[in-house]
Structure 1
Amino acid sequence: MQAYDAAIVGAGFGGLAAGAELSKKGYKIAVFEASNELGGSAGKFVRDGYRFQSGATVGMGFEPGGVFDRFYESLELSKPPMTLLDPIMDIHLPDQTIHYYKDSHRWYQEIDLHFPDVKENVKAFYDEVFKVGALVDRLIEKRPVFPPKTISDLMMIPPLLDKDSIKLLPFMTQTVYHRLRKYGLEKHKLFLTFLNGELMDSVQTSVEYCPAFLGYTALQTFHKGAFAVHGGLAVIAEQWGEFIKQQGSDVFKRHPVFEVSKEGDTFKLSTKRNQAFYSKRVILNNSVHNFPSVVNDELLKRAYVRKSKEQERKAWGAFIIHGGVKEKVFKNTDSLYHQFIDPDNSEALHDGGQFLLSLSSRGDTTMAPEGMRSFTLSTHTVIEKWWERQEYDNNKQAMTDNLLSTVNHYFDGFTDSLDLVLPGTPVTFQKWLRRDQGKVGGYAPDGRFSWLRSYSARTGIPDLYQCGDTVFPGAGTLGVTLSGLIAARLITKD
Structure 2
Amino acid sequence: MVYDVGIVGAGFGGLAAAAELSRKGLNVLVLEASNELGGSAGKYERERYRFQSGATVGMGFEPGGVFDQLYKNLDLKTPAMKLLNPIMEIHMPDRTIHYYRDRNQWYNEIQRNFPEVSNEIKTFYEEIFKVGEMVDRLVEKLPIFPPKTMRDWLTLPSLMNQESIRLIPFLMQTVEDRLKKYQLHHYHLFKTFLNGELMDSVQTSVDRCPAFLGYAALQTFHKGAYAVHGGLATVAEQLADYIKGCGNEVKLRHPVHLVDKEGGTFRLHTKRKKIYEVKRVILNNSVHNFHDTLSPKLGKHSYIKEQKEMKRESWGAFIIHAGVDQSVFESTDVLYHQFIDPHHPEELHDGGQFLMSLSDPVDQKMAPEGKRSLTISTHTSIRQWWEAEDYNIKKERMKERLIQTVDHYFPGFSNHLDIVLPGTPVTFEKWLRRKQGKVGGYAPKGSYSWLNSYSIRTGIDGVLQCGDTVFPGAGTLGVTLSGLMVAKELTK
Q: What interval of TM-score do these two structures reach, taking the shorter chain for normalisation?
A: over 0.9
Matched, 1:79 2:75: no
Aligned residue number for residue 66 of structure 1: 65
Structure-2 separation of matches of 1:305 and 1:133: 30
Structure-1 separation of matches of 2:305 and 2:345: 34
Paired AA for residue 184 in structure 2: L
Check conservation: 2:93, 2:345, Cα contact below 8 A. Answer: no
SS at structure 2 position matched to 1:405: helix
Paired AA for residue 332 in structure 1: S
* Deviates most, 144-153 or 178-187: 144-153
Deviation at 1:363, TM superposition (A): 3.7
Paired AA for residue 469 in structure 1: D
Aligned residue number for residue 436 of structure 2: 437
Aligned residue number for residue 211 of structure 1: 210
1:411-469 deviation per Cα after TM superposition (whole angstroms, max 9, x unaligned): 11100001000000000000000000000000000010000000000000001000000
Aligned residue number for residue 277 of structure 1: 276
Aligned residue number for residue 424 of structure 1: 423
Structure-1 separation of matches of 2:257 and 2:290: 11
SS at structure 1 position matched to 2:82: strand
Check conservation: 1:363, 1:370, Cα contact below 8 A. Answer: no
Counterparts of 1:337-416 in structure 2, within 5 Å, are 337-342=336-341, 345=344, 348-416=347-415
Aligned residue number for residue 18 of structure 1: 17
SS at structure 2 position matched to 1:122: helix
SS at structure 1 position matched to 2:259: strand
SS at structure 2 position matched to 1:280: strand
SS at structure 2 position matched to 1:206: coil
Paired AA for residue 400 in structure 1: K
Structure 2: tracts of 5 or more residues without a match: none
SS at structure 1 position matched to 2:427: helix
User: Percent of aligned positions with the same letter in both sequences?
Assistant: 64
Aligned residue number for residue 452 of structure 2: 453
Matched, 1:327 2:326: yes
Structure-2 separation of matches of 1:273 and 1:149: 35
Please tell me the root mean square deviation across aligned C-alpha atoms, in Å.
0.8
Check conservation: 1:53, 1:376, Cα contact below 8 A. Answer: yes
Matched, 1:259 2:258: yes
Runs of 4+ in structure 1 deviating by more than 6 angstroms, as ranges, are none
Q: What is the TM-score with the length of structure 1 in the denominator? A: 0.99
Structure-2 separation of matches of 1:46 and 1:161: 48
Paired AA for residue 451 in structure 2: L
Aligned residue number for residue 200 of structure 1: 199
Deviation at 1:346, TM superposition (A): 7.3
Aligned residue number for residue 183 of structure 1: 182
Deviation at 1:492, TM superposition (A): 1.1
Aligned residue number for residue 267 of structure 2: 268
Deviation at 1:59, TM superposition (A): 0.3
Deviation at 1:273, TM superposition (A): 2.8
1:306-341 deviation per Cα after TM superposition (whole angstroms, max 9, x unaligned): 010001100000000000000000001000000001
Structure-2 separation of matches of 1:283 and 1:9: 6
Aligned residue number for residue 148 of structure 2: 149
Aligned residue number for residue 129 of structure 2: 130
SS at structure 2 position matched to 1:473: coil
Deviation at 1:304, TM superposition (A): 1.2
Deviation at 1:343, TM superposition (A): 7.0
Structure-2 separation of matches of 1:67 and 1:250: 24
Structure-1 separation of matches of 2:229 and 2:365: 9
Paired AA for residue 191 in structure 1: F
1:112-153 deviation per Cα after TM superposition (whole angstroms, max 9, x unaligned): 000011000100100000000000000000000001111221
Paired AA for residue 124 in structure 1: T
Matched, 1:464 2:463: yes
Structure-2 separation of matches of 1:405 and 1:272: 42
1:360-419 deviation per Cα after TM superposition (whole angstroms, max 9, x unaligned): 011432111111111000000000000000110110000000000110111111000010
Paired AA for residue 92 in structure 2: L
Structure-1 separation of matches of 2:430 and 2:273: 21
1:28-81 deviation per Cα after TM superposition (whole angstroms, max 9, x unaligned): 000000011100000000001100100000000000000100010000111001
Structure-1 separation of matches of 2:343 and 2:296: 48
Deviation at 1:154, TM superposition (A): 1.5
Aligned residue number for residue 222 of structure 1: 221
Aligned residue number for residue 286 of structure 1: 285
Check conservation: 2:88, 2:99, Cα contact below 8 A. Answer: yes
Check conservation: 1:210, 1:446, Cα contact below 8 A. Answer: yes
Deviation at 1:95, TM superposition (A): 1.0
Structure-2 separation of matches of 1:419 and 1:14: 34
Check conservation: 2:174, 2:208, Cα contact below 8 A. Answer: yes
Check conservation: 2:345, 2:353, Cα contact below 8 A. Answer: no
SS at structure 2 position matched to 1:380: strand
Structure 1: tracts of 5 or more residues without a match: none
1:466-488 deviation per Cα after TM superposition (whole angstroms, max 9, x unaligned): 00000000000000000001011
1:206-253 deviation per Cα after TM superposition (whole angstroms, max 9, x unaligned): 000000000000000000000010110000000000000000100000
Deviation at 1:347, TM superposition (A): 6.1
Aligned residue number for residue 115 of structure 1: 114
Paired AA for residue 339 in structure 2: F
SS at structure 2 position matched to 1:404: helix
Aligned residues: 492
